Amino acid sequence: MKIKNICCIGAGYVGGPTMTMIAAKCPDIKVNVVDINKSRIAAWNDRDVNNIPIYEPGLSDLVAQTRDHNLFFSTDVDAAIAAADMIFISVNTPTKTYGVGKGMAADLKYIELCARQIAAVATTDKIIVEKSTLPVRTAEALRSILDNTGNGVHFDILSNPEFLAEGTAVSDLLHPDRVLIGGEDTERGKKAQKALVDIYANWVPKEQILTTNVWSSELSKLTANAFLAQRVSSINALSELCEVTEADVNEVARAIGTDSRIGPKFLKASVGFGGSCFQKDILNLVYIAQTYGLQEVADYWEQVIIMNDHQKRRFAKKIVKTLFNTVSGKKIALLGWAFKKDTNDTRESAAIYVADYLLNEQAEITVYDPKVTAQQIYNDLDYLGTRSSEENRRLLKVVDTPLQAVEDAHATAILTEWNEFMNYDWKEVYDLMLKPAFLFDGRMILNQQDVEKIGFEVYTIGKG
């Protein structure tokens, strides 16, 4: 089965980069990325590729190379579905905010809407690829919708979860650890699986393309993110113990990370993990375990989230305690708002919750982030609903330079590990701040002794 035309529904952080890479590596395949969000599609089609809606190192170059050649961005969803041999579903699956499973289960309404639209429009056989992060056995629901509301055409369903990390998405797509493709154990299912294998095989070694059944593939994505988040919460739990015992969490991490059974990755203490996947996927895993009556399994994974929330609160409380137990009317500079460096994604960023805690204490906050817009920062705070939109804008200001942020500040907190923060003239920052000048390194990117020599009073996570 030779694929000549691909449609991807959803032009977000997964769909946009993934389809751009497929277009770049498969010039004989026409790739249509569609989304009902007109402003997002307009941004993808902006004449200046530096204005595309997603910031990822190297992505704009790939878009410039492929756009309007074999990569197209459009709001005409029906036309793209009708023309496609293979359809990737890459829409958002947020945590439910209502009804049964509120706050834990994945909200699959956008997945269902996609399935119904595909079924209504398709007049030829299609391969449907689950690209969104989904609960195990979602393919069963897709199959039911497609088979019962369609036009008599045949649909093969594959699960192809994405394991890329924001900030390194292009590199991860170009050199993946593995590509996972789950399919049905039938002759048609195997042919559909092979069709997708053949696409990735244009640049990924075949031994790194793993094939499984659909259910294993769906569960593997949730499990991978849960294991990574678990490591972050584990080292963060130890960071608090290190602080009260005068141990150094960096030295502890180095000692255990050299054990080949453990390894060094994801053992860096911080103010906490963020992003669209870790928390959402763990909560989904907790909910699935609960629905099957596996309460002990659910409790185990929920503790990863509890620890992460605790770490963010603990960091904010440390700022208040250090500033003589009050931050009311005091200016605090936050450097970084994105949940990690090299992305403009702010979903579940630790900065949001640290800022919210400090604003509740009537602090006056200034924020600088090199890639996140002021509108996005205010949207993040408004979404929490803790204060009015007007109060958020009165108490928090977004500035264009880090020096504007730190001028006359009582404290500066680093909340995103942007490379530029490591290369600042920290003496200049110190001179601009009020004295005593407090520095809170939430990402452990500075040499504590160096900044202490300048005159800062420094708090670094995990150091007694």
Task: Say if residue 65's pLDDT is above 80.
Answer: yes
Q: What is the pLDDT of residues 300-315, one digit of tens each?
A: 999 999 999 999 999 9
Q: What is the pLDDT of residues 391-438, one digit of tens each?
A: 999 999 999 999 999 999 999 999 999 999 998 999 999 999 999 999
Q: Across-strand partners of 459? A: 440
pTM: 0.90
| Averaged confidence pLDDT in the chain | 95
Full set of structural domains in the chain with CATH: 5-204 (3.40.50.720), 247-460 (3.40.50.720)
pLDDT on residue 229: 97
- Structure tokens of 305? 């989230």
pLDDT on residue 172: 96
Of 182, 84, 200, which is closest to residue 139 (Cα–Cα)? 182
Q: Which of 96, 277, 348, 417 does the annotation list as catalytic?
A: 277
Nearest-angstrom CA–CA distance, 245 and 232: 20
Q: Which of 56, 162, 243, 348 does the annotation list as catalytic?
A: 162
Mutual orientation of helices 109-121 and 138-149 as an angle, nearest 10°? 30
pLDDT band at 84 (very low <50, low <70, confident <90, very high): very high
Nearest-angstrom CA–CA distance, 187 and 168: 37
Backbone angles phi, psi at 131, to 5 degrees: -105, -30
Q: What is the pLDDT of residues 180-196, one digit of tens each?
A: 999 999 999 999 999 99
Q: Tell me if residue 162 is catalytic.
A: yes
pLDDT on residue 451: 97
Residues 6+ apart with CB under 8 A from 313: 353, 357
pLDDT band at 151 (very low <50, low <70, confident <90, very high): confident
Q: What is the pLDDT of residues 248-257, one digit of tens each?
A: 999 999 999 9
Backbone angles phi, psi at 453, to 5 degrees: -65, -30
Q: Tell me if residue 428 is catalytic.
A: no
pLDDT on residue 297: 97
Task: Say if residue 129's pLDDT is above 90.
Answer: yes
Distances (CA, A) of 139 to 126, 130, 158, 184: 15, 8, 8, 10
pLDDT on residue 145: 86
99 in helix, strand or coil? coil
pLDDT on residue 93: 86
pLDDT on residue 37: 97
Nearest-angstrom CA–CA distance, 273 and 102: 22
Task: Say if residue 166's pLDDT is above 80.
Answer: yes
Three-state SS sequence of the chain: CCCCEEEEECCCCCHHHHHHHHHHHCCCCEEEEECCCHHHHHHHCCCCHHHCCCCCCCHHHHHHHHECCCEEEECCHHHHHHHCCEEEECCCCCECCCCCCCCCCECCHHHHHHHHHHHHHCCCCEEEEECCCCCCCHHHHHHHHHHHHCCCCCEEEEECCCCCCCCCHHHHHHCCCCEEEEECCCHHHHHHHHHHHHHHCCCCCHHHEEEEEHHHHHHHHHHHHHHHHHHHHHHHHHHHHHHHHCCEHHHHHHHHHCCCCCCCCCCCCCCCCCCCCHHHHHHHHHHHHHHCCCHHHHHHHHHHHHHHHHHHHHHHHHHHHHCCCCCCCCEEEEECCCCCCCCCCCCCCHHHHHHHHHHHCCCEEEEECCCCCHHHHHHHHHHHCCCCHHHHHHHEEECCCHHHHHCCCCEEEECCCCHHHHCCCHHHHHHHCCCCCEEEECCCCCCHHHHHHHCCEEEECCEC
Q: Which of 126, 221, 318, 341 does the annotation list as catalytic?
A: 221
- Other Cβ atoms less than 10 A from the Cβ of 133: the count is 22
- Structure tokens of 190? 């195997």
